[in-house]
Amino acid sequence: MNYILDSYFGFGDNIYHIPFVHKLAQQGEVFIYTPFPEMFQFPNVYCLKPVTNLKLQNENMTNNGLYSNSSGHKPNGNHLRFNYGEGFKKGLTIIQSFEKLIPLGGDWFFEFTPKPSKQAEGIAARARHSKKKLCVVRLPSVRKEWACPSRMPLMEYFQICIDFVRQNYYIVSVGDIGNQEEFTGPEPFGIDEKRDRHFVNHFGIWDVFDLLNKADLVISPQCNILPMCQILRKKSFFIYGGYVPHAPLNDPRFYQVGFVEPNPFCFCIRNGQDGHRCNKEIPQDILLSKLHETIKRQE
């Protein structure tokens, strides 16, 4: 049996699609509309360009030769559409929602190796030269395309974390600031290399993926860095704001990352509507104890 899949367009969402595309490819041909064909280079899988105005997605699709592998193959089969929004309302995780659509039956393939990046290796070399471990940090920011201020934690917590690790870690920030994306608060100090400015020494998404692969520690808000660290099995620490908590984004089969959330957590999905503001308060002692636990965790 063949299948036509409509994927989510988010980079992280596509990572979560990997086990399900891999499963279906064992049963027949799979035609998936995805901005990121790099993730689905399996036998029997044909990647097709979706229509979107999203900047990262269009940038990755432009002149992407991987789509040529699908040339001459006309999509046919059962039409399936990934959707976890309804699953959240029923108390399901992202993976459980997808499994309702595509049962895995014990088959769990969740692997991806990013292409080596010379820029990422250069940073790793400078970290080694400094005799420090490498820490990659993503700072809280809001994108104009998918504006979700409720999801972002308080910026001050990142300054606290940077101060906690800076003696032992070479710290590099990633992001896309200036490209319709801005910080949610004053930028922390103590960062060794800033690779999060769109127009100055910027790291693209695949460079970031390889940099994470080379990192000893990652500190980030909940964003596409989370599934990247889950699939890389990377020691990482995520600070949550509001909107969606960690549990729906987790699965027992994932590598278990470190995280901290406000308590009580505002699982509202209102995103600032009607003036609503999520509780984002996290006591400093809890923040640092959770970070310390993550750093000391055995591989």
CATH assignment at residue 216: 3.40.50.2000
On whether both 92 and 145 belong to a single domain, the answer is: no
| Domain co-membership, 248 together with 147 | yes
Report pLDDT digits (tens) over 199-235.
Answer: 777 899 999 999 999 999 999 999 999 999 999 999 9
Question: For residue 89, what pLDDT band results from cuts at 50, 70 and 90?
Answer: confident
Q: Are residues 140 and 50 in the same domain?
A: no
Instruction: Indicate if the pLDDT at residue 75 is higher than 70.
Output: yes
Is residue 126 in some structural domain? yes
Whether 223 and 127 map to the same domain: the answer is yes
Query: Is residue 16 in a domain?
Result: yes
Q: What is the predicted pLDDT for the residue at 298? A: 61
- Structure confidence by residue, pLDDT tens digits, 114-135: 999 999 999 999 999 999 999 9
286 or 272: which leads in pLDDT: 286
Is 112 inside a domain boundary?
no
Please give the mean pLDDT across all residues of the chain. 93
Q: Which band of pLDDT confidence, cut at 50, 70 and 90, is reported for residue 181? A: confident
Same domain? 55 vs 134: no
Is residue 106 in some structural domain?
no
Tell me, what's the pLDDT at 149? 83
Q: Domain check: are 23 and 159 in the same one?
A: no
* pLDDT tier for residue 27 given thresholds of 50, 70 and 90: very high
Confidence of residue 273 (pLDDT cuts 50, 70, 90): low
Together in a domain, 177 and 252: yes
Bridging pattern class, strands 181-183 and 30-33: unpaired
The tens digit of pLDDT for each residue in 130-179 reads 999 999 999 999 887 777 888 899 999 999 999 999 999 999 999 988 87
Residue 113 lies in a domain: no
Of 69, 101, 133, the one marking the end of a domain is 101
Q: Is residue 128 part of a domain?
A: yes
149 and 277 fall within a common domain: yes
Q: Supply the range of the domain harboring residue 9.
A: 3-101
Last residue of a domain, one of 101, 131, 157: 101
What total number of domains does the chain contain? 2
Give the per-residue pLDDT at 57: 95
| Model pLDDT, residue 184 | 86
